[in-house]
Amino acid sequence: MGADLHAHSTASDGVLSPAELVRAAAAVGLTALALTDHDSTAGVAEAAAAAAQAGLRLVPGVELSTDAIGREVHILGYFCAGRAPLEELLAEMRAARRRRLEQMVERLRAAGLPVALERVLALAGAGAPGRAHVARALVEAGCAASVEEAFDRYLLPGRPGYVPRRKLHPGEAVRAVIAAGGVAVLAHPGLVGDDGVLPELLAAGLGGIEVHYPAHTAAQVAHYARLAEELGLIATGGSDFHGRGERWGDLGSVTVPAAVVDRLEEAAARAR
């Protein structure tokens, strides 16, 4: 059935644990699966152990959220999990996220709103705490009727609880993946909607582009397949599975041949 090179577990916003995800991948007949949690490699060890049991090839990965001018750009990093330059970057991003959360709560409290950091962290559970959890805490405290209203009144730019995010630039993410001995791939370029980001990524050493993706139209697949060919990039693909019935694709609904995994691994080896 091939390789699904884009999937999330409970290490970010997926529904299945890393081991459950791997078993589900084997059950639908995948021969390879990439675990690509948002800004975290915490699930890779568990997934690798489960994959060894299930006889499935696990591709260690991560999906980095970055900000280009006015757009969110996601960079997939393969074969770089657990290597220092990447893990240092992830740790720095986690620390920045935590500082931002503390500052948001401080500002809201200074404005007289009864929101507690402990409650925000509890609402986030094992996931990465963020603005949405602050909003939920504000709703709980009776400061807003809905999460949307909490954002509108307190958490958007210009509002009392707003604190800007530490931004990671796309080129910085690509360079961190390569410095960690991995290969960097532009995720769902059709969702970015603007190929203007490509020159910077290519200059930083981009190795691939996610051609096959649930939300890509046939025209977009053809366009990005041609770009990959022209630019010498590896054409990858995956379902962006988050859980059955969740939005994005079902596990194994988008696959690429196993040879693509070999090409990624070779590209990563050349970077070392």
Binding interface with Mn ion (CB under 5 A): 13, 63, 74, 187, 240
Q: Which is nearer to Mn ion, 11 or 163 (CB)?
A: 11
Contacts of 254 (CB under 8 A, 6+ apart): 4, 6, 212, 213, 214, 237, 238, 239
Q: Is 264 exposed, middle or buried (0-12, 13-18, 19+ CB in 10 A)?
A: buried
Residue 120 near residue 134, CB atoms below 8 Å: yes
- For Mn ion, the nearest residue by Cβ is 74
- Residues with Cβ within 8 Å of 137's Cβ and at least 6 positions away in sequence, in order, are 115, 116, 119, 120, 123
Contacting residues for 59 by C-beta, under 8 A, at least 6 apart: 3, 5, 32, 33, 34, 35, 78, 79, 261, 264
Strand 71-78's sheet: what is its strand order? 3-4, 32-35, 57-68, 71-78, 183-186, 208-212, 234-237
Q: Closest CB to Mn ion among 79 and 213?
A: 213
CB-nearer residue toward Mn ion: 161 or 189:
189
Q: Is the CB of 115 or the CB of 192 nearer to Mn ion? A: 192
Rank residues 34 and 150 by Cβ distance to Mn ion and give the closer one. 34
Q: How many Cα atoms occupy the beta-carbon half-sphere of 238 within 13 Å?
A: 31
Kindly state the smallest distance separating residue 188's Cβ from Mn ion, in Å.
6
Least distance in angstroms from the C-beta of 184 to Mn ion:
14
CB 190 → Mn ion: shortest distance, Å?
11
Minimum Å gap between C-beta 71 and Mn ion is 12
Distance of closest approach, residue 37 Cβ to Mn ion, in angstroms: 8
Which C-beta is closer to Mn ion: that of 207 or that of 238? 238
Backbone angles phi, psi at 11, to 5 degrees: -70, -15
Q: How far is the CB of 241 from Mn ion (least distance, A)?
A: 9
**Least distance (Å) between residue 123 CB and Mn ion:** 18
Q: Looking only at Cα atoms, what is the longest distance across the chain? A: 58
Q: Least CB distance from residue 132 to Mn ion, whole Å?
A: 12
φ/ψ of 261, rounded to 5, equals -65, -40
- Rank residues 46 and 63 by Cβ distance to Mn ion and give the closer one: 63
Which of residues 46 and 240 has its CB atom nearest to Mn ion in the complex?
240
